[in-house]
Chain A
Amino acid sequence: MATYTMKEAKPAPTANKGIIFWLKENLFPDVKSSLFTLFGLYVIYSIVPPLLDWMIFNATWSGTQDEVVNSGARWIFIIEKFDQFMYGFYPESLHWRPNLVAIISIVFVFSFKYIKNLKVKIAGILLFPVVCFVLISGGWFGLEVVETEKWGGLMLTILVAAVGIIASFPIGVVLALGRQSNMPILRTLCIGFIEFVRGVPLITILFMASVLLPLFFHDGIEFNKLLRALIGITLFQAAYIAEVVRGGLQAIPKGQYEASEALGLSYWQGMILIILPQALKISIPNLVGSFISLFKDTTLVLIIGLFDILAMVTLTNSDTNWLGYEVEGYVFVTMIYWVCCFSMSQYSKSIERKFNTEH
């Protein structure tokens, strides 16, 4: 027989051994890695400085077209057309309305995480779109009406994406639940819809929405272009949400359903209180991925004659006073899209972190 004495815990070996050590360890541990490091540095060297030169150091930030002497970007084009990129043809004197909506939205999105009371949360979710719509379109409280034909630019892009995301979410969840239902007709309808929509490109759905929808409602109901696009995009997005949520639902162990049934919860109580919170939580990364694709896909609305930010760039490029400024325009739009999409993905990460620390 053998006995052993208890050992004292020792502190872990320290990781910090200075910058030189870190460099050697991580960038130049052996010949192959060193070659890769050098190659990487070369790529960075050949791309970044010229890009910075063009975008910043050699760029023209003010003055008129005739005064341009630098070889870099001529941002004066963007500055000149900025309002059109942002608001389309929305009357200039009313720009404060979309601006206010933007401020409200940002405040809403960032304070939402911190609202504890469920009733306030739900009231917020229901009230928010109404307030935004009234502010932008006008017609109530003495606000001047602005027809949807005048809406455009980044404002329209965000609006289409936001409506697509918000409206498609509940529809997608219901479709996902319907797909799992044990009522055959309901299940078949849901599967049919989801598989059909996922099997065709968004652009065809938009065409169908703009051509077919008016046929269903021919009795003189004026169906405006924007509404048609919104319906098309919402239905399109709902099918994808449904698939993402289905993945989340499938990851929930059977025991969770059984426990909520055994406690006497009804189907909807079990879904809303027990299953969906867990399923949606694990779906957040995929949901946001799908929101981001939708945001980028909204550029397709230019096909049916709406002027989103990309369409505005194309349009302003045909201004005879400002020919040859495509590059600046498209670089600017690229940056706008990147900032929006990157923010969305960061926001989703912060939600995930919040959930993870909660449990």
Chain B
Amino acid sequence: MSDQETMIKMKDVNKWYGDFHVLKDVNLDIKKGEKVVICGPSGSGKSTTIRCLNHLEKFQEGSININGTELIEDVKVVRHIRSQVGMVFQHFNLFPHLSVLENLLIAPTWVHNKPRKEAIETAMYYLERVKIAEQAHKYPNQLSGGQQQRVAIARCLCINPEIMLFDEPTSALDPEMVSEVLDVMVELADEGITMICVTHEMGFAKKVADRVIFMDAGQVIEENEPNEFFDNPQSDRLKTFLEQILSH
């Protein structure tokens, strides 16, 4: 297991919001190319965990290492890490004043200093990949939720990231649009990018994940490979949780 390169290493990470202890000794080792799904009840700290990885949230104790770089509070280091980590949000967070194509050009041209022409080629390539190239000149609010989320994924891919973080990417979508986004994510997973995905889509987890992690009250309670995880949960809390999400 240890002969593979480690991509993400979280060691005893602790975080507080004021007096509220959100993350309690979170440890996480993710190898290059691994797909990890995180699930758990609302408020358990899933978002907070993955938002620490690209420094959208600060943590007070412990350490995080991303692809060999220690995450410290230094503008350059944070920028370096963010340039390798793409993040897809629940509410897409596309820039509404820019066209789809311009949304995809921002990071390559301003952060990675790519020539505009090259950036446009890359952008069109990824729009093609998420099957939305014909919408390149529309504005985000002219697209459906599923289309917006696919644009958001393409926007991350344009910086050619090592790691993709997904924070409940399908939970703000109408049911009939969930699968078009999941399909794109499955395709991505097949290409060997390192992926951490907070989701309750069990089908996706079974199909794609190498490992599923269950968090509750700011702790990692249980982790296992997907089939074992769902068919043979160990802890009572996970059993209750699975009953709840599978009961409807």
CB distance from B149 to the nearest CB of A (A): 13
Produce 1/0 per residue, A260-300, CB < 8 A to B. Answer: 11111110010001100110010000000000000000000
- Set of chain A residues within 8 Å of B83, measured between Cβ atoms: 264
Cβ-defined partner of B79 (8 Å) among A260, A266, A277: A266
The CA of A277 and the CA of B96, in the complex, are separated in Å by 10
A256 within 8 A of B: yes
- Set of chain A residues within 8 Å of B17, measured between Cβ atoms: none
CB distance from A2 to the nearest CB of B (A): 24
Inter-chain contact A259/B95, CB cutoff 8 Å: yes
Size band of the interface chain A makes with B: 20 to 34
A258 within 8 A of B: yes
A359 within 8 A of B: yes
A255 within 8 A of B: yes
B171 within 8 A of A: no
Considering only residues 235-268 of chain A, those with a C-beta below 8 Å from chain B are: 253, 255-256, 258-266
B30 within 8 A of A: no
CB distance from B50 to the nearest CB of A (A): 11
- Set of chain B residues within 8 Å of A260, measured between Cβ atoms: 95, 106
Inter-chain contact B79/A264, CB cutoff 8 Å: yes
Inter-chain contact A261/B110, CB cutoff 8 Å: no
Q: B54, B56, B93, B156: which has the most chain A beta carbons within 10 Å?
A: B93
Cβ-defined partner of A262 (8 Å) among B82, B91, B110, B139: B82
- Set of chain B residues within 8 Å of A256, measured between Cβ atoms: 93, 95
Inter-chain contact B110/A269, CB cutoff 8 Å: yes
Inter-chain contact B97/A262, CB cutoff 8 Å: no
- Set of chain A residues within 8 Å of B86, measured between Cβ atoms: 262
Q: How many residues of B contact A (CB 8 A)?
A: 25
Cβ-defined partner of B91 (8 Å) among A255, A266, A278, A358: A255
Inter-chain contact A265/B106, CB cutoff 8 Å: yes
Inter-chain contact A261/B56, CB cutoff 8 Å: yes
With A278-B96, A359-B97: A264-B89 Cβ-Cβ less than 8 Å: no
B155 within 8 A of A: yes
- Set of chain A residues within 8 Å of B85, measured between Cβ atoms: 262
Considering only residues 72-105 of chain B, those with a C-beta below 8 Å from chain A are: 75, 79, 82-83, 85-87, 89, 91, 93-97
B141 within 8 A of A: yes
Produce 1/0 per residue, A339-350, CB < 8 A to B. Answer: 000000000000
Produce 1/0 per residue, B155-199, CB < 8 A to A. Answer: 110010000000000000000000000000000000000000000
The CA of A274 and the CA of B111, in the complex, are separated in Å by 14
3 A-B pairs with the lowest CB-CB distances in the bound complex, closest first: A259-B93, A255-B93, A264-B82
**Which residues of B pack against A, CB within 8 Å?**
54, 56, 75, 79, 82-83, 85-87, 89, 91, 93-97, 106-107, 110-111, 139, 141, 155-156, 159
**Which residues of A pack against B, CB within 8 Å?**
253, 255-256, 258-266, 269, 273-274, 277-278, 281, 358-359
Q: Give me 12 A-to-B residue pairs in the complex whose CB atoms sit less than 8 angstroms apart, sorted by A's number.
A: A255-B89, A256-B93, A259-B93, A259-B94, A261-B56, A262-B54, A262-B82, A265-B106, A266-B75, A266-B79, A269-B110, A274-B95
